[in-house]
Structure 1
Amino acid sequence: MTHNETPSPGHDDEPVLESQLRDEIEALRAEIEQLRMDSLRERADLENQRKRVARDIESARKFANERLLGELLPVFDSLDAGLAAANGHDGPLKEGLDLTYRQLLKVAGDHGLAVVDPLGQPFDPELHQAISQADPGQAAPGSVVQVFQKGYRLNERLLRPALVVVARHD
């Protein structure tokens, strides 16, 4: 090498620089992969939250009237008792009472209320509350022979069980 010749810069440094660049590229790839995974996780969390909120809204919508309809149950009971007392006494009063009862049931039914009137059906502890037992007579043992108070469900959720008398098993 003569005095005027200068060594080319980085000839000896090239393998070191190449190795540093590879390491930096690998670190950047790992960071990108981590960011991608974080993004997927965040997206899944948002989707789960969206589904949870949608379920909560649907549940709130289905049971928003629960308190009001629950407070109307004594009104249904009174109308039932009035109709039972008027049984055999046809006339405008009974017809008006019956019409009012049916209209009220329709409005409540449109909002998810269903009557549980199990007379003659097998006793179901999920829907009925037995208050007594009686001789079966012509009824099947374990069936409901008398309903003291009808039960009600709101969108398949039991609002109040039916109070019943059940035929004894011999």
Structure 2
Amino acid sequence: MANKKKIVVDEENDGATQQAPSTPSEPESAADEAQDAPDPLEEMAVKLAAAQVEASENRDRMLRMAAELDNYKKRAARELEDLKKYATENLIRQMLTVVDNLERAIASAKSDNENGQSLVNGVALTLAEINKILDGHHVSPIQALGEPFDPAFHQAMCQEECTDQPPNTVVQEFQKGYLIHDRLLRPAMVVVSKAAQNGDSTAKSVDTNA
């Protein structure tokens, strides 16, 4: 009897052992971890978008730098061209004084003594050579006499009443003006006409009768 009970107890213990609750299975834990882990496709999409933004910024930066470089090249080319065109400007401006003196010498010799024609001819040849040099450097005189006064090219020394020219017309030239290429080298010093009082009243009466 005692031995039989012992056997029954052992069987019950074995059953209890078999019926004990089991711990969570490994597949369930792996599924939870898989749900918490980030999606590789989403990570790749985020990285791709960031790379595209960076590439766009780099492209814009490159285009701006290329435009700045192109503008710099153009500006440098213009400055170099201006340097070539106007490098002799100061020298030529000083030579113009010699031209002025030669012209005065010719005018004075012609008016004072007709016998000095050989001197006049010699000075005229010298002046012609200088003018040829100036022309080779693209220096040209400004046409002033009979032209409307233009403050961009003329420097008015005084005004003079004049009846045979419209007002603000250059009627006398003290000193020639010159251009080098399209730039003003020096303005022409001129006398500018103004309407005479009698001329003004006559013009007004004509306008009134008309």
Q: Does 1:72 align with 2:95?
A: yes
Instruction: Give yes or no for the alignment of 1:22 onto 2:45.
Output: yes
User: In structure 2, what is the equivalent of residue 31 of structure 1?
Assistant: 54
Q: State how far apart, in whole Å, the 2-side matches of 1:96 and 1:72 are.
A: 18
Give the equivalent residue in structure 2 for 1:98.
124
The letter for the 2-side match of 1:63 is Y
Identity over aligned pairs, percent: 36
**What is the alpha-carbon distance in structure 1 between the residues aligned to residue 135 and residue 36 of structure 2?**
84
d(CA) in 2 for partners of 1:36, 1:121: 57
Secondary structure of the residue that 2:39 maps to in structure 1?
helix
* Number of residue-to-residue matches in the alignment: 165
* Aligned mates of 1:117, 1:29 — CA distance in 2: 65
TM-score, normalisation: structure 1: 0.84
Q: Can you give the 5+ residue segments of structure 2 that lack an aligned partner in the other structure?
A: 1-24, 197-210
Mark the structure with the bigger radius of gyration: 2
Q: 1:139 offset after TM fit, Å?
A: 3.1
Residue 45 of structure 1 and its aligned partner are, at CA, apart by: 0.9
1:60 counterpart (72, 75, 83): 83
TM-score (norm 2): 0.69
Which aligned segments of 4 or more residues in structure 1 are displaced greater than 6 angstroms? none
Which stretches in structure 1 are left out of the alignment for 5+ residues?
Answer: none
> For 2:168 and 2:59, how far apart are their aligned partners in 1?
62
CA contact (8 A) 1:117 1:147 kept: no
- Determine if contact 2:142/2:153 at 8 Å carries over to the other structure: yes
Q: Deviations over 1:49-71 (max 9, x none)?
A: 10110111111112111110111
Shift of 1:115: 1.1
Moved more, 159-168 or 40-49: 159-168
Which structure has more relative contact order (CA 8 Å, sep 6+)? It is 1
Q: CA deviation at 1:91?
A: 2.8
Instruction: Provide, for residues 75-96 of structure 1, a one-character-per-residue CA deviation record: whole Å limited to 9, x for no partner.
Output: 1110110121133637332122
Q: Residues 16-165 of structure 1: matches in 2 within 5 Å?
A: 16-87=39-110, 89=114, 91-165=117-191
CA distance in 1, matches of 2:52, 2:160: 79
